[in-house]
Structure 1
Amino acid sequence: MDKHYDLIILGGGCAGLSLALRLAELGEQSPTTLIIEKRPAYSNDRTWCFWDEGNPALTECADHTWSSFKVQLGDKQLVKNCSKNPYVMISAQTFYTRAIQNITANAKRCRLNHDESVLAVIKQASQTWRITTNMGVYTANHVIDTRPASQISDDMSVLWQSFIGFEIEASQDLFDAQQFTLMDIDQSFKNGLGFTYVLPVTPNRALIEYTVFCEQAMSAGSLQPYLDVALSQYTNHADYKVLRKECGQLPMGNQTVKQSDDSSYIFAGLYAGAARPSSGYAFQRIQGWAKLCAQSWVEHQSFIPAPKDAALTAIMDDIFLHVLKSNPDAAATLFFSFFSKAKLISTIRFLSDHPTLTDLGSIILSMPTVLFLKSLPSFLKKRVSMSLHVSIFKSTK
């Protein structure tokens, strides 16, 4: 027999669980919800980080915070005090545990199914959705699809952020647990930007990650040699054990953002605009969308897709990615200039999605002028081409 829900969420990752958490806060007003997750169980396989801007709802489950950070380029080093806006880390284990606890507490109205794969999704004549899985058949008034792309190709995004990281425990104290390394830029990496990212949580334990921004999505195997070098550098060849591993590919400037013409079927998550194009940060954006979705349910009994970025911010991200793609060998200088010249509060607000006009001015002035002017003609040509394509597409619909 079919089981009917107000809402079925396809995919129980960060976006799906964040929405479920927000809806659970509505109590008896919350929609009856089913979350379908294909993984048999959750593991501590990733971390989410962001700058604390005084939102307790985002920081209450933080695993660690840092009051300063550094950016390194060869023998040049920047150290920034961010104590007014600490950098926050939430581990997958902490986030998933909290989500499951809240879902369990709201068991009458919300259910999470693990180890279940979606086989078909069909809109019925009754205007409800019929979802067939390997475990059964369900119907729903609304569907929110947060599943990642089944496979990725390089042309799906302007650039890709690929990474591999090991959380290690060393045999001796090596780290300052109050300071993290945002970027230790690898000058030997070609055709893009390669850098080491270090999040120390105790004097002898840290997540050490190697990240690449480039046109191709890189596999964990191809990144492993770079991580090995970083591990040797940051442990100074001391003995250590690997506690866990994480890896992935994030779209930067997703060119195939999923959209739906049916307001009762919404795409959400990384491949529907959750990640900030110029940085890959997604956690805060997802939380903001989940909050808006919960409000929409209370007020209209409906849900909404992720809001579009402010026009000026979107244009700046587009220009930034275009410059990086057109000038991969200049990426190291570009990022170091960004962090050394822009005001820290402007940088934080820009990366956190709500810069003021003054902040945007500070960011623009921090960029290498010659490099941007050189890339401007090709950027404008691309924008005109895209506008013509959209106009032609709309006229043929």
Structure 2
Amino acid sequence: MAATAGKQLGTLAAAYYHHQKLNLHCYQLCSLLQVRNYAARKGTREKAKKKKVKVEVKKVGFVPPIRQKKTETLTVGELQTDDSWKSEPLDDVWLGKYHKWKVYPFAEAVECHRETHHPTCYNLPNAFINAYIELDMHGEKPTKIVEAFTRTVNVPHVFDHGENRTVIAFAKTPELLQLADKAGATISGDNQLIKRIQKGEISVSDFTAAVAHPEIMADLSVIRGLMKRKFPNPRVGTLGLDLSVLIRKILYGIQYKAVPLEQDITFGRITVPIGRLTMDSKQLEENFIAIIKDVEQVRPKRDGLFITRTSLRCPPSTEVFKVEFQKYFEEKNSADASYESDDDEEIVRTNVI
């Protein structure tokens, strides 16, 4: 009996010990679970607090319809430049939707804008007159599109473009620096000017552009990081042998940008001022010719027109007058052909002799 009781007591002791060990393990496990639950609840509370933060909404007052900004929306018909299939207007009043767009002589289009800007109308006799140039942006291959580009062109008749431009010039010889100053450079110099820029006495960011002569490019490379995009480059037209031409192009040249349309990227447009209404019509026409010839230089190597349509606009008037542009290229082609024929005739004469 004593042996049996001892065995039972030992079994109970082992069971008790095992029970206590199991309780300890459960306690530790529960404590860990409590920490995880607490951490999860804390994260949930933080998220809830963030959601409860009220966002202050600013109320906008009523804007009259006249003052609302209107985005330019062009229809397929306005993008279509070929209207040869339309009929000619029979009188002075017609619907542009069903008839050809009238082509005005350049001088007549300018005179029409002068009438609308007379003191009795808009009272802006010295307003800018803009050339609106439409482009076919198809590239050399059918799948390629001409990207947006920005160029600066020298116009034969300079006018006040309303911008304050400044130029810094770099050259080695005193003769070149003197020519740069006469051309209108804000500041010019050699290695001493480069050292002043390195010390921080002069900031290149204060100038519209920087031009340089090729002889000083080796010394100018030490401040390439400070100049960034304003570092002289022949592609941009800021590096060359004739500093006076470069400076005048920056100061008085007209900058334009070709932008693809959002409705159809195969169409592009350029809006560029060609002068003011107070200028002579012949001068405005010569500026217009210089600009369209510069645009034609970007033409991709493919068949068809690059410039599809040109017109004259003069804000704030909404009138648009279409003008002819192909005749200016035809004059150039005929002049080149006549020059080649003269050369051929001269060669024949020399052979005969």
Q: What range describes the TM-score normalised by the shorter chain of this pair?
A: under 0.3
- Higher relative contact order (CA closer than 8 Å, sequence separation 6+): 2
Structure showing the higher strand proportion among its residues: 1
Could you tell me the TM-score, scaled by structure 1's length? 0.23
Structure showing the higher helix proportion among its residues: 2
Could you tell me the TM-score, scaled by structure 2's length? 0.25
